[in-house]
Structure formats: C-alpha cells, structure tokens
Amino acid sequence: MYDPSMRVLTVLELLQSREEVTGAELARRLEVSPRTVQRYVARLQDLGIPVEGRRGVGGAYRLNPGFQLPPLMFTGEEALALALGLRALTHLGLHALAPAAQGAGAKLTRTLPHALREDVQALELSVQLDASPWVVGTDATLLAGLLRAVRSRHAVAFTYTAKAAAATTRRADVYRVVHLDGRWYAVGHCRLRGALRSFRLDRMQDVTVLDEPFTPPPDFDALAYLRSTMPEPAAHDVSVWLAVPPEELRGHVSGWHTELSPEDGGTRMRAGRDNLRSFAAFLLGLDCDLRVDGPPELRRMLARLGERGAALGALH
C-alpha cells in the first residue's frame, strides 16, 4: 500500500468501521509515522470530511457523529473493477440488465473524480469483451427471485421443462445459484424427486417463493455437485482449422467442450467429441475449406464419408 491516496482512503475506511481509532494504530496499520498520519487526516479534513482528533497520550481520531459519507468513494482499482463488472453482465446471460448496467455506469462516471473518470472512459474506449455464443440468456427477474429465496431459506415452486420432456410443476429447496459454462443453475433438494437436483434457469418459469422455510446442509458446495453431474471428458480431442472467421461459426457449432479462436485468417476449433462419425458429417456440411490436424481417426472418417458420398452420387 504505497500510494498515498490509497492510504488516505484506508484511514477513512478505518474511521468508518470504528467509533474511534488511535493515531498509533493508524500509523501501525499504514506503516507510516504518526506525523504522516496527521497529514492524511488533514487531507480528509481538506476534502470536507469532519474528522475529530484528540491530542495527548493515546490521542485518537473519529468521524463527527451523524456524518453521512457520500454514496460513492472508490479507489482507481475499485472504479475499474466496477466498470468492468457492469460491462460483463451480458456475458453472464443477463441481457435484461443491460439498460440498468448502462445507467449505473453513467452514474459511476459522473460521481468519480476527474482522473478516475478519465480512466473509466479509457476502459470504455479501449476494452472489447467478446460475447460468447454459448452463454444462455437468463431472466433477471427470475434470478432475483431465486436469490431472495436462497437468502431467506424458503422453498420455491416453479414450472420446469426438461429437455425433450413435458413441463412439470416442481417444489425445491434451493441451496445455491451457480453460473457454469454459460448457463445459470439452481441447485438444491427437489421435493418431487426427493433428491438433490440442479435446474437450468432458462428452463424455469413462474417462480414463486413459498412460505415454507428449510435448513440447507452445512458447507454445501453447489459448484462441486454440479460439476460431478456434468458429462465425462470426451473420448477424442479434435483440432480443426476452418477457413472462416469465428463470428461466422457462432450459433452453428455446439458449445459443448468447444473452443473457437482466430488463427491465420480463419478459425481454430478445439473440441472434445465422443462420436467422430457425426462430427465428420457436421464438418462436411460446413461451406468452407478446412484442415483436420487431429486426431487421425477423424481424417479417416472424413475420407470414408467422402467415398460414400461419391459412390452414392455415381448411382444417379
């Protein structure tokens, strides 16, 4: 903590958290001399913050009782963290919060000192965040309702539509809400199944918080549970170069165990797949040149499918 402005803010934070702090303790926490602490206190007073001091042996400082600090006082790193966090909301699938994030960002910028405001504006102009096609949109209102239920430890009722199945009415004690691999999940005890379950938020509707409290298990690790229910690693590691940019592939390639990155004017696709036959057929269906760098089995599968296609064409 070598930046003097950071030390001044630390003095303020300590004064907010304690009724009174001695000068000796401030000097020890900040690793400075008592005289330097006096300069930091004077700086706060110059900013209009009413810090009162008691002189003599055991001298101490405190904020004037009843004083309300301005709602926003951030360090440079805190301001940048907030600005980045607001921009990243849509990358968590919370597109409905985009207007709120823009409004909060505008308020943040207006309330910052000039130097910090310029840093945040530089971030807005200089940083690009790629919107992954694998992030599933999530209803922010539904998420907020689930978070209230988790906080209050009350069960919820909702309509759930699992993949290729009819909608069912569920009641669950939701222990945690988790974001993993582009999707939001509610994890807890399903009363219909009588067991621990996870529910995708994009498949939930009509969430209602019930007047039915529950006690969650201690130290429950929802993320570990959710990872344990995910499919095992794929049998084959695939590496293919495609002669199209990544943005033209987004929405056409499954996001399961798939990574797309620009390379040599095209796209490097790294993926894990169990069924090379169906993946080879998918590649043949793409309207672009490609090069398979691995595994060799995929190249052989493409060759066999190509030979079969040629043979079928010769019949007509």
pLDDT tens, residue by residue, 67-94 = 766 555 677 777 778 888 888 777 777 8
Q: Which CATH number fits domain 236-315: 1.20.58.1030, 3.30.470.20, 3.40.50.10490, 3.30.70.250?
A: 3.30.70.250
pLDDT tens, residue by residue, 252-306 = 776 667 888 999 999 999 988 888 888 899 898 888 999 999 999 999 999 998 8
Domain ranges of the chain: 4-63, 76-126, 140-229, 236-315
Distances (CA, A) of 35 to 24, 38, 61, 207, 253: 10, 5, 13, 59, 64
Helices (H) and strands (E) counted in the chain, each on its own, are: 11, 12
Q: Which CATH number fits domain 140-229: 1.20.140.150, 2.60.40.1080, 2.60.40.10, 2.30.30.520?
A: 2.30.30.520
pLDDT tens, residue by residue, 253-262 = 766 678 889 9
The fold adopted by the segment(s) 4-63 is: Arc Repressor Mutant, subunit A (1.10.10)
CA angle in degrees (0–180, nearest 5) for 180-177-261 = 15
Residues in the chain predicted with pLDDT less than 70, given as ranges, are 1-3, 55-58, 68-73, 126, 128-134, 232-233, 251, 254-256, 313-316
Task: Identify each DSSP E strand in the chain by its residue range.
Answer: 21-22, 51-54, 60-63, 154-160, 168-180, 183-190, 195-200, 204-213, 236-242, 258-263, 266-273, 290-294
Q: Which two tokens stand for residue 115?
A: 């130097």
pLDDT confidence of residue 213? 96
Q: Are 61 and 52 in contact (CB under 8 A)?
A: yes
Tell me if the pTM is above 0.85.
no
Residue 61, Cβ density class (10 Å: 0-12 exposed, 13-18 middle, ≥19 buried): buried
pLDDT confidence of residue 10? 81
